[in-house]
Amino acid sequence: MNSDVQERRHQTLDLLDKTRHETRSVLSRLDPERVVHADERAWRVRDVVGHLGVWNGEAAHSLEAYATGSEYYCIPWAEYYDYNGRAADERRAWPMPRVWAEYEKSHDQLKLMVETMPAENWDGVMLYPWRERGTVEGLIRTMMNHERIDHCDILLKTTSA
């Protein structure tokens, strides 16, 4: 395997591990019923964990499809917010251990897909679950930035204020 691809794969796996650790650390110490997004849906901590689990699973599906020569997406861009709402609503009644289990499983799936992605696919352009295109690394960076910056960092700021 090309040593450059091998090094970037290692960095991508490291980013996945660090993000999972940070998310566990931040979100597991918060009351799962605490409302953290005061919009019309009033998302709680549990809804954020569920949201992350759903989207990481969708990203894993896209990676799996790409690795086998096909494409996968779950929504047209125009339905992004509706999809998020439906996914959160579906998980609202789940016990918190089930929500965390889905999150953990989806991270495991992402990690497996990064570990097993054929080297010749590493720099190719793939379809992301929300119908944008980019590389394997780009997908993981986008997903982990979303998890860390759009959710964990914001929740840390709002819960410590």
Q: At residue 10, does pLDDT exceed 70?
A: yes
Residue extents of the structural domains in the chain = 3-160
Q: What is the pLDDT of residue 39?
A: 72
pLDDT of residue 6: 95
pLDDT tens-digit series, residues 96-114: 999 999 999 999 999 999 9
Question: Taking residues 106-123, what's their average pLDDT?
Answer: 97
- Tell me: pLDDT of 1 over 70: no
pLDDT top residue among 42 and 110: 110
Q: What is the mean pLDDT of the chain?
A: 90
In this prediction the pTM is: 0.91
Q: Is the pLDDT of residue 56 over 90?
A: yes
Q: What angle do CA 25, 60, 1 make, to 5 degrees?
A: 100
Indicate the CATH number of 3-160 among 3.20.20.80, 1.10.10.10, 3.60.15.10, 1.20.120.450.
1.20.120.450
